[in-house]
Every structure is written in C-alpha cells, then in structure tokens.
Structure 1
C-alpha cells in the first residue's frame, strides 16, 4: 500500500489522490486501508518516512567516510538529486506533496547544518554568520533543480552547476568549487551495503514493489 500511495501521490499530490485510487492500485480493499492508517495524510507521512530514512542512511554514510567536508557535502547534494532522478516516482512524490516538502526540510535540515558546520570548523567554508539562510537556500534549490530536470526544463548538468554555486555560497573559491562539483559521483549506496553486511542482506532480500503504473511521471 505504501508503494501504491507513493505512485498515486507522485502523479496527483496528496490532496488530489483518493483512498480508493490507492487501494485499487495496491489491489486491496478500502477496509484494509483503515486497518493500518487513520487517514490519507498518515499514509503519505509513512511513505516519506520510509524513503527518507533510506536516503538519510546513505547521506550519513557519505558524511562519515569522505574526509574533506567540502567534498562530502558536494557528494551529498548530488546524491540527493541523483536519487530523485533515478527514481522519478520518489522525486515527484516529494515535489507534489506540499506537506512532504515541510517534512523534507525538517528531516534534512539538521543533517545540512551538521555538514556545513563541519566545513566551517575545518576552515573550508566561511558562512558562519548566515548558516540558517544557507541551509534554507540549499534545501529549496535542491527541490527546484530536481523538479526542473524531471520536467525536462533542465538537464542533469544542472545538478553539477547547482553544487558549484552552493559551494561558492558557502565560501569556497570559485575554481575549487567548479572542480569539486565535477568530480565523478561514487556509488555510495553500493559502498554502504558493502561496508554493512546486514544492510546488504536486507537490500538483497527486499520484496519487489507491488504492480502499479510506474515509470517516468509528468505533471
């Protein structure tokens, strides 16, 4: 049901989706829905919480394993967008669900602040006097660029350009910001699974999503 809700809400938003559509997509009865969730909004929060936790583990892994905080935050930002583009259902879910955008900010704001503060303490960034504004600009920009690429109004290079601009905003020299933003993006999801055998077994043993109308979604 969570997979079905994500698919429907990605196309229609939380407000536009109906419980009947979701249960039909999941091939379940409406009664089954109320056995697990009290409302459509509660189900939407469950979708976000599950997927955000998966992404958060990868972003935390990057922060722990990449020594240079500037390089780490660049990888984190590009991975955030890359995951949304690789899985358009998730990308559109976050974009279309207005409440999810607020939850998205609440979920990732603390991570962003920790990463930027790490760069400030290491002498890599110089935005200590405006860190909260820098975080707001960062999170808003990541969502905006994701939407532009999913809508076909920008190509994937926009993620690199955004990364470069954000690095410059944090205080990195322009030439270094351009260089870091264009470094190849490692497969951190695979690296995390290899580093955590339990995570690897869980990933390999995951059941596939229920059948549904998936694929690249447009408004």
Structure 2
C-alpha cells in the first residue's frame, strides 16, 4: 500500500475545507439573491450547497458568521474594483467622498448588498477592517491638511464608519432615494471638519464618468457634456 506524505495529506485537508467553505458562501449568496436574508435557514444553505448540516458548523458558528462572510467577499471585490480610481485622486477629502459615494451608489442599485454590508458590523469581519484601514489612511492625510488639525483621524474614522453603516441599513430597507445621495456625502464631509462651501466644492469635483459610470447621477446633473 502506497504511503501518503503527511504534509501533502494536510494540504489536501486544507484545500477540501477551503472548497467546502467557499461552497457554503456561494450557496448563501445564491439564496440571498432569491429571497430575503432573514428568511434563509441553515437547512436552506446546506441543501443548496449539498453538504451535511454538521459540515456547516465546522466552518461557521451560525448564520450571522456566514452572512458576514458573504458580505466580506462582496465588499472586498467591490473595494478592489475601486482602488485604482481611488488612488488616482490626490485630495484626501475627495478620496473619502469618492469612496462614500461609490458605496452609496452601489447600495442604491442593490439594496440587498447594502443590507449585507451593514451586517458586517455585528461580527468580527475582515472586510470591515479592510475598509476601516482604507478610510483611516485618507483621514490621517485629511487631518494633516486642516489648518487647525480638526478632529483626530481616530474620531473621524468612527464618525464616517458610523454614518455609512446607518446609511447602508437605511438603503437596504429602501428608506432613502437617489435624492439623498449628495446630502449624505456632504453631511459626512462636514462632520469630519469641512464647512458647507468646502463640502460643496468636493461634491462638484467627484468623478462621474469613466469605465464604471454610476447609474445614479447627482440631482440636476445632465446626461450630456458641458
């Protein structure tokens, strides 16, 4: 009988566990696309993934953890898509506004996605930490550019994240419309230290065209050129 290398055996085990976890996340994502997140059960997920119920609990403590994993995957893929555009902007206030506007526009187009993102706040999710790190970098540079320093980057981080999570919840529940978009971004900018005139200036400089043109334009923006 041929001997199996114990190192290779361990690798095979890790690969199998990773595939099973990915299958569970894919199953949940598919179910969430067809029905309300709150209506999905563990039994639904294991049936969709074609695995035993006990296998589910090897990978997740419950549905909250699985939901967070789905949201994390969606946010990371969206963040990766935005990175090149974000890094092309020199002004940290503009980068902050760009990131917020991109997430708000995505949420307006896909309320289900917004609800999943909001759920990341209830668990220890890596996707949430990734976003916090991105925002904090911009807020540090933003604070350094203010004449009096303004609120600390740490305080502003909690302000931006708190507002955005509330917006994601509201957008997921369809309680806001595209008409609220600019007001929300302006409120974030003013909360971290800009005055009304400065916030308006940032809004007018937000990118609105290119390969990932948003479905929702700012109220009053025309569809033609200047």
Q: What's the TM-score once normalised by structure 1's chain length?
A: 0.67
Identify which of 21, 39, 44 aligns with 2:67: 44
Identify which of 127, 132, 135 aligns with 1:112: 135
Q: Distance in 2 between matches of 1:69 and 1:19?
A: 43
2:167 is the alignment partner of 1:145: yes
Which structure has more relative contact order (CA 8 Å, sep 6+)? It is 1
Q: Which moved more, 1:54-63 or 1:111-120?
A: 54-63
Identify which of 193, 208, 221 aligns with 1:186: 208
1:1-219 equivalences under 5 Å are 1=23, 2-6=25-29, 8=31, 11-13=36-38, 17-24=40-47, 26=48, 28-31=49-52, 34=55, 38-39=59-60, 40=62, 43-96=66-119, 99-100=122-123, 105-121=128-144, 123-124=145-146, 128-183=150-205, 185-186=207-208, 190=212
SS of the aligned residue for 2:90 comes to coil
Paired residues in the alignment total 186
Q: Which runs of 5+ in 1 are unaligned?
A: 192-219
Q: Max radius of gyration: which structure? A: 2
1:96 positional shift: 4.3
Q: Distance in 2 between matches of 1:127 and 1:162?
A: 23
Q: What's the TM-score once normalised by structure 2's chain length?
A: 0.66
Cα 1:159/1:165, change in 2 over 3 Å: same
Cα 1:174/1:125, change in 2 over 3 Å: farther
